[in-house]
């Protein structure tokens, strides 16, 4: 899980081209949610014990984390949409009522087999035959 988060945050920080497998997207989001939950809990604990200093530190850390992960979150979502052969701009569908459900549907779909409009299949890069992969995934 941490490896996928590091891959998105370090290797593909603002890479909007290419494709992202379901595992890359969902493991990144899971770790992202765990970190966000932890930062929010720090804020709630600070409020509960009445510590203004710890509360401000928690807010600052939360704000910095949100700023640091904004572009990678958009990028991995665009790459995930590319894996199902949809434009990254399809992300904007989440702005209309019930559009988030459509976006969620695309996020859970299996990616296109083989090459699509956005690049090679991340599950089966060029040079790997499907026969040699039987039983490995």
Give dist(CA 30, CA 24) in Å, integer.
10
Residue 133 in domain: no
Domain that includes residue 77, residue range? 2-126
pLDDT digits (tens, 9 = 90+) for 45-66: 988 888 888 889 989 999 999 9
pLDDT digits (tens, 9 = 90+) for 65-89: 999 999 999 999 999 999 999 999 9
Residue 132 in domain: no
Straight-line distance from the first to the last Cα atom of the chain, in angstroms, rounded to the nearest whole number: 17
Residue 134 in domain: no
Residue 10 in domain: yes
Residue 28 in domain: yes
Computed from CA positions of residues 17, 23, 28, 30, in that sequence, does the dihedral angle turn out positive or negative? positive
Residue 136 in domain: no
Structural domain count of the chain: 1
Which band of pLDDT confidence, cut at 50, 70 and 90, is reported for residue 129?
A: low
Q: What is this structure's pTM?
A: 0.79
């Amino acid at each position: 899980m941490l490896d996928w988060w590091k891959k998105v945050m370090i290797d593909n920080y603002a890479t909007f081209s290419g494709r992202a497998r379901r595992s890359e997207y969902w493991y990144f989001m899971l770790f992202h949610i765990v970190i966000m939950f932890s930062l929010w809990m720090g804020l709630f604990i600070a409020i509960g014990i009445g510590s203004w200093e710890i509360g401000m530190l928690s807010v600052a850390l939360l704000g910095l984390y949100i700023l640091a992960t904004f572009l990678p979150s958009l990028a991995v979502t665009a790459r995930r949409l590319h894996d199902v052969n949809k434009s990254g701009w399809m992300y904007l569908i989440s702005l209309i009522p019930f559009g988030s459900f459509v976006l969620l549907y695309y996020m859970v779909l299996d990616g296109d087999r083989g090459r699509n409009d956005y690049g090679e299949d991340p599950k089966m890069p060029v040079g790997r035959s499907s026969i040699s992969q039987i039983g490995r995934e």
